[in-house]
Amino acid sequence: MQDNAGLDIFISVLLRYPQFNAVKYDAAKGKIKIEVALQGEIEKDKQDGFITEAKKCVALYHKLSSLETGIIKIIFKEYSQSDLTFLSYHRDVQSLSEEEVELFAGLLQKSFHEFIIRDSGKIIAEDGFKEQVKENLLYKINRSKTSTNKFLAYRDHGRVLVFNK
């Protein structure tokens, strides 16, 4: 796995943001998917409004930062039997930055504060700790007999669980 920038974003997202329930990273394709669980069904108008606003804000951020925008896809998926809605944010890691993730987290907070299902556990997110997690993950990836480039991380009671897919 050569792309450390993608790995850095992957680790940062899973450690810093308790409102993001899962992160999926496909290093071979250079894609990352951030998932958020929302309590209840979100009205279609509210979903469409959020998608429009988020895409405009990200496009403006990219324009001001002189970055080329890659993949930006936002999908809502409802599970009416469970009274849950999942929001997924699909991005390419080449044009994704920590600042954009922070912007997306802020937009999410503004639009869905009362609906977000958060992990309430505290996770240490200092730079030294992030570096240690990154080193451990790289070690396990390089030591593994399989050459997987797909990873899934999710939060569970203050723990972050990372799996090769």
Residue 109 in tokens: 């907070």
Q: Where do the H-state alpha helices sit in 29-72?
A: 44-64
Whether 15 and 153 have beta carbons less than 8 Å apart is answered as no
* Coil/strand/helix, residue 66: coil
**Residue with tokens 């990372």, as numbered in its chain:** 162
Whether 156 and 119 have beta carbons less than 8 Å apart is answered as yes
Bridge partners (DSSP) listed for residue 89: 34, 74
Say what the pTM is. 0.80
Q: From CA 145, how far away is CA 89, in angstroms rounded?
A: 31
Instruction: Tell me the average pLDDT across 13-36.
Output: 87
DSSP state of 116: B
**Residue with tokens 């324009």, as numbered in its chain:** 63
Q: Amino acid letter at 61?
A: Y
Element of type H or E holding 136: helix 127-143
Instruction: Tell me the average pLDDT across 90-95.
Output: 90
pLDDT of 90 higher than 80: yes
pLDDT of 161 higher than 70: no
The pLDDT score that the predictor gives to residue 6 is 73
- 114-132: per-residue pLDDT in tens? 999 987 655 555 556 556 6
Q: From CA 124, how far away is CA 119, in angstroms rounded?
A: 14
Q: From CA 65, how far away is CA 160, in angstroms rounded?
A: 31
* Coil/strand/helix, residue 57: helix
